[in-house]
Amino acid sequence: MVRTAPLLALVAMCLLASPALAGRPAWKWLVEPSDLTLAFEQQDQSETVLVPNRRQPVDETYRLPNNTAPVHYHLALRTAIHVNDRDFSGTVMVMFEVLEATTTVTLHNRQLTVQRAFLHEVAETGSGPGAEIEQAAHATDSRTEHLTLTLSQMLPAGSRYYLRIEFQGRLQNNNNQGFFASSYLDNNGVRRYLASSKFEPTHARSAFPCYDEPLLKATFELELTHHKDYNAVANMPPAGAPVPDPDNADYVRSRFEVSTKMPTYLVAFAVTDFSIRTAGQQTVYARPNVYEETAFPLEAGNKILDTLSAYMDVSYYDYMPKMTQIAIPDRGTGAMENWGLVAYGEPVLLFNPAINTYRNKKSVTTIIAHEYAHQWFGNLVSPHWWEYIWLNEGFATLYEYYAAQLAYPEGEYWEFFTVEVIQNAFNADASETVRPMNWNAASPSEIANLFDTVAYDKSGSVLNMFRVALGDDNWRVGLKRYMTARQLDGALAEDLYAGMQEALAINAPSLLPAGVNVRQLMDSWTSEPGFPVLNVYRTYGEAQEVILSQERFLSNKQLPNSHVFHIPYDYTGGNAPDFEPTPAAYGWLSSKAAKISTTVPNDDWIIFNRQQNGYYRVNYDAHNWELLIEALHTDPTQIHRRNRAQLVNDAYNLARAERLDLTVPLRLMGYLRKETEYAPWTAAGSALTYFNNKLRGTDHYAHFLVYMNSILLDIYPTLAVDSVAEQETLLHRYLKQFITTWACRVGHGDCLGKTKQALAAAHQAATPVHPDIATAVYCNGMVDASDETFVWVYEQFKASRNQAHRTVLIDALACARKPSQLESLLLVALGTGSEFDAMLSSERTRIVSAVYGASREGVDAVIDLLMQPTWVGDFVQRLGQSALNSAISNIASRTNNQQELARLEALLTSLGSAVPESVATAARNTVQNNFDWFNSLEGLVAVEYFAKVATAPQEL
């Protein structure tokens, strides 16, 4: 029974009137500074050079001993998930080879109860176990998760045996790890249960005892026993129809063909009551009540897989006979590249054109491309050890966009790579304590921490830089050689370098810097943390020379650094702009500094890093920055849109790092009033958001609003904010949402009026808003919506079975400004009872974060709720202590004046010991930093600039 506010009572009545119907990973990253000790190493040219030792010390006791290795697994599991029974049982038969004479065999085991373990001979036929030799003693070390089987006899090197291990386990609960349970509501409101797997990086050991390391590949034969009304799916196709279980007539056994050789982390299976859509050699599995939403992912899957097979010149179907995609409810927005059975959270696989936005379609397309790229990078060739996880994730991030572009050129997906990958990687990689791409790890937690922005976005950016600089044709030849050499095996970074070296030696040896091989070239980026800033200083003499220099870029300081990146650079000038990158046009800065000659006249601008393919920032001398600002304000189209995005992003971040006068990016961004492309606008978004958040609630905010209205002045009238034309491109729709969001945020009357009218018209007609303007119309229309409209939108949320659509509606409801509506929504997040059963735990926390993230009124609503002691306990019980701590931190970050500080202090006093003292202290420190900003150089310059623009906006 939930307590209700007046409006919530209205919502509750609506809930009772009809039955209920049924979002890149959040990465952590290591922050320990790398131990970049130097070691001498002999290179291909027989020269001695200094290279970093990237294998920093780790606890090697977590690694399995190398005395045995797996050859083949036969895994049999039994589950009763159909009745939500979380216990499962299994037997695994492991054929292994003895590499060194031993009396012990060691595998991994995480929280499985091993009942018995036996050693068998290999049958005389060579397949399957033969006679039992002995029952082995067994023990598990809970720290290392090593299951050690002790035998009474010495096993000679070179021999093969079978282990038969009987075990029991328990399904994990909706945590996307190991063998875990999920659920959904069918159309009758009945909860249905399913079980599926996600083993990367070290979770296979929680489903069955195994050699859970990426290099220890084997073949797998699966047998799943489950209720007859359910179906089973795995990496490989079924080996015939399910057969009755001799032990229970209500169960069947589903058997699968022997797999391709692969590591344990790629083994996958699921037991569900899902519907199946098939086209060619691909299928999509999803719950029956979203069957219609599987058409697009099936079409995209076929198209993208064929595209990648052609690009790689290695057919997927040469190694695997089928591909299945499966949508797992309540799995978040992650996905896993299991060979032949790719698993997704529903929001990133299912697509319903009637309710899902262009952004959903883009994410479905690119994430399918990411996971399918893994079929080559990670599955066909796996990393030798997790240290080289970038050989998986970096390539998958690159081809997430590139393969989507090749498959759907009309989508212009490659346009997003600069702003979503490169510029995002810069943010994480500008820290003094960030790790390099090559980084060793041993314990499960250390290994999990490697799946971070460095592994994905930085690595994808570095790989793309070399793809462009060396030429895509040469790159593809190198990849083919790499994959051919290491297929069905493990790979080191050096194996990739070797493949590229062979390709260039044949096709284009002149593309490399003199005396430098591919290994040295790429190792300067993969084994060193961070990235450089390329300083461009023009001499403005008769020779038109430029002095280039490099140093590591850090966001908050400048430190001496002796490392030299091999930087591929190209440039163009205002006298003859040419922004098309070609390998032959690249030079290499392979020293700290160098002088080059150009053909760009002194009175014309110059731009380095065409289309921002290189993974580095660029800083110019003051005069060239002035030339660039003048060019942008005169005619921005003379500079490529990706370089316009680069200039905005680089100038802002160089200024924040105190390498550039802050007025440079502020004046440069004034050109945006003439900008009509998405990439430069979204590149500016982080800067505009930063200043908006700093100035909101202060006397200076009005000046910032003048600045924003000035740069929006020309573009806003060109966009139909309340309608969608069929011919609008994907990029145009992204641009329109960006501009509409900002126009309404800064109080543009036409924007607020049209979105309010559009929402009211949709409510009156009882017709949902067109999905491609839904985010802007719902959110901004809710600012002054009636209670009736609020409830109508809530009803759509309640009725929707599509997780991505439900998230859009949560965010829309959170945009309300009336205290009673916001209180009602927050209480929905804490609600219990049958009418709330359809809500996911992630949706409850999303409601709270969406409310305090949407407006100051939302922040106050959260404060008002938490000021009531009766609700604090429910808040923690439903959402967890971490959600409360996060709410306090976010309230503090949005506290900009004394009145808001007084509200925060009153809340902290009211909460008392309900929040840790460390959280309260951090919140107060955050507020003090907000106040102190106005006395910093950055704050003073920004305030002065916006005040000047407010009095003379024409001088932008």
Cα–chain-centroid distance for residue 181?
23
In whole angstroms, give the CA distance from residue 660 to residue 666. 11
SS3 951: helix
In whole angstroms, give the CA distance from residue 163 to residue 159. 13
SS3 326: strand
In whole angstroms, give the CA distance from residue 2 to residue 99. 63
Cα–chain-centroid distance for residue 506?
37
Tokens of 379: 């599955």
In whole angstroms, give the CA distance from residue 833 to residue 126. 58
User: Which residue from 76, 70, 159, 156 is spatially nearest to 106, judged by alpha carbons?
Assistant: 70
Of 145, 371, 415, 843, catalytic = 371
In whole angstroms, give the CA distance from residue 732 to residue 301. 25
| Cα 440 to Cα 58, 387, 518, 880, distances in angstroms | 7, 4, 22, 33
| Residues 6+ positions from 345 with CB-CB distance below 8 Å | 327, 328, 330, 331, 332, 333, 334, 335, 803
| Residues 6+ positions from 453 with CB-CB distance below 8 Å | 27, 29, 424, 425, 427, 428, 429
**Phi and psi of 132, rounded to 5°?**
-70, 135
Amino acid residing at 682 = T
What is the bridge-based pairing of β-strands 160-170 and 113-122?
A: antiparallel
User: Which residue from 537, 676, 531, 680 is spatially nearest to 606, judged by alpha carbons?
Assistant: 537
Amino acid residing at 455 = A
- The residue to which tokens 């691909």 are assigned: 282
In whole angstroms, give the CA distance from residue 905 to residue 946. 31
- The residue to which tokens 């949508």 are assigned: 327
Catalytic, 371? Answer: yes
Side-chain half-sphere CA neighbours of 910 within 13 A: 18
The answer to whether 575 and 637 are in contact (CB under 8 A) is no
To the question of whether residue 700 is assigned a binding role by annotation, the answer is no
To the question of whether residue 374 is assigned a binding role by annotation, the answer is yes
Residues forming beta bridges with residue 805, ordered by sequence position = none
In whole angstroms, give the CA distance from residue 807 to residue 839. 11
Amino acid residing at 804 = A
- Whether omega for the bond prior to residue 201 falls within 30 degrees of 0, making it cis, is yes
To the question of whether residue 370 is assigned a binding role by annotation, the answer is yes
| Residues 6+ positions from 187 with CB-CB distance below 8 Å | 21, 22, 289
Check the CA dihedral 782-786-787-790 and report its sign: negative
Amino acid residing at 325 = Q
SS3 769: coil
In whole angstroms, give the CA distance from residue 832 to residue 848. 16
In whole angstroms, give the CA distance from residue 356 to residue 352. 5
The answer to whether 716 and 743 are in contact (CB under 8 A) is yes
In whole angstroms, give the CA distance from residue 804 to residue 630. 43
Cα–chain-centroid distance for residue 796?
28
User: Which residue from 535, 550, 547, 536 is spatially nearest to 597, judged by alpha carbons?
Assistant: 547
User: Which residue from 576, 615, 569 is spatially nearest to 599, judged by alpha carbons?
Assistant: 576
SS3 186: coil
Element of type H or E holding 155: strand 146-155
What is the bridge-based pairing of β-strands 617-620 and 532-538?
A: parallel
In whole angstroms, give the CA distance from residue 546 to residue 539. 6
Positions marked catalytic? 371
Binding-site residues for Zn(2+) sit at: 370, 374, 393
